[in-house]
A and B are shown apart, each in its own frame.
Chain A
Amino acid sequence: MTVPMSAYLVLSIVLLGLGMLGVMRRRNPLLLLLSIELMLNAGNILLIGFSRQWDDPAGQIFALVVMVVAAAEVVIGLGLVVAVFRSRMNLDVDEMSSMKG
């Protein structure tokens, strides 16, 4: 008896909820990006799981593309965080609302 797909579904929803909770209660933009990584991983679990269930490599392709998008997002996000917080001192997303120049 193998692990049913529904177990992976439940795990993925739990991880997605945790990531969303993190995005909502964190104010530090670095930790916000960490929570987004958590949500992306929840999606990847489902993509790989259904790829296995339906014997189709497309799900694995999607998961790899998601990984590349996550890497690009982290590079740009961290670049923005560093650029903003060299000039301003607090780590607070609300203070980033006026980004000019």
Chain B
Amino acid sequence: MGEQVTFAIAAIGAVSFGIGVVFFKDAFRAAVSLIGTLLSVALLFIVLMAPFVAALQVIVYAGAIVVLFLFVIAYLGERNEVPGRDRLDAMQAVGWIALLGIAAFGVIAALDSTIGPGVPPPTNTDVGSPAAIGHAFLSDHIIAFEGTSLILLVAAVGAVILAKRAVQLEGGR
């Protein structure tokens, strides 16, 4: 019972804050609304017995990524949004068709008897504990682990180079 109530609160929160992200005119409000969605998703992760990923969701997403967004929004300040000329209608149509396909596939999967309402998930598992995740990372998924560090290195070097070029354009050193 408690699990269902928590799921309902988190799901409603995620969807309503997500609507805020899409429809707020002000960039600052949209970014703050994204924090609400991310915290609701973290609550869902806790319901799904994944406390480690939930903690990282709060620390990395809500703590670091959204703060970076807020810095850039404050740095660039208010800009006027120009009215669109080319809405790329054909590509939008393709996108909606793709989303409809995903939704149809999701409905088929949701009606599948192996994950439907009648099948409870296994209880008393520890797949979400830091120990289990660390073990999986360093044994079966070592390539993903190393690839992760490579991605972070490339992102850091790329950010430094982009910032350096921007400073040079302004005549600084």
Given contacts A3-B4, A79-B162, contact A11 B15 (CB under 8 A): yes
A76 contacts B86, C-beta separation under 8 Å: no
In angstroms, how far is the closest chain A Cβ from the Cβ of B52?
Answer: 7
Q: B residues 114-157 with Cβ under 8 Å of A? A: 115-122, 125, 127-128, 132-133, 135-137, 140-141, 144, 147-148, 151-152, 154-156
Contact surface of A with B, Cβ cutoff 8 Å: 1-22, 24-28, 30-31, 33-35, 37-38, 41, 44-45, 48-49, 51-53, 55-58, 60-61, 63-65, 67-72, 74-76, 78-83, 85-87, 89-92, 94
Return the contact of A90 from the options B38, B79, B119 (Cβ within 8 A).
B79
A23–B163 Cα distance when bound, in Å, is 26
The 7 closest A-B pairs by CB, nearest first: A6-B110, A72-B155, A79-B162, A5-B115, A22-B22, A57-B136, A4-B117
Given contacts A78-B72, A81-B76, 17 further A-B contacts (CB under 8 A): A1-B4, A6-B110, A14-B15, A22-B21, A35-B21, A48-B48, A60-B53, A63-B53, A65-B147, A67-B57, A72-B155, A76-B155, A76-B162, A82-B163, A82-B166, A83-B163, A91-B76
In angstroms, how far is the closest chain B Cβ from the Cβ of A61?
Answer: 5
Residue of B nearest to A17 (CB): B99
Given contacts A34-B31, A91-B81, contact A57 B127 (CB under 8 A): yes
Inter-chain contacts of A86 with B (CB < 8 A): 166, 169-170
Residue of A nearest to B11 (CB): A11
Contact surface of B with A, Cβ cutoff 8 Å: 1, 3-4, 7, 11, 14-15, 18-19, 21-22, 27, 30-31, 34, 37-38, 41, 44-45, 47-50, 52-53, 56-57, 60-61, 64-65, 68-69, 72-73, 75-76, 79-82, 84-86, 92, 95-96, 99, 102-103, 106, 109-111, 115-122, 125, 127-128, 132-133, 135-137, 140-141, 144, 147-148, 151-152, 154-156, 158-159, 162-163, 165-166, 169-170
A77–B169 Cα distance when bound, in Å, is 18
B22 contacts A75, C-beta separation under 8 Å: no
A80–B166 Cα distance when bound, in Å, is 9
B18 contacts A19, C-beta separation under 8 Å: yes
Inter-chain contacts of A5 with B (CB < 8 A): 110, 115-116, 119, 121
Inter-chain contacts of B21 with A (CB < 8 A): 18, 22, 31, 34-35, 38
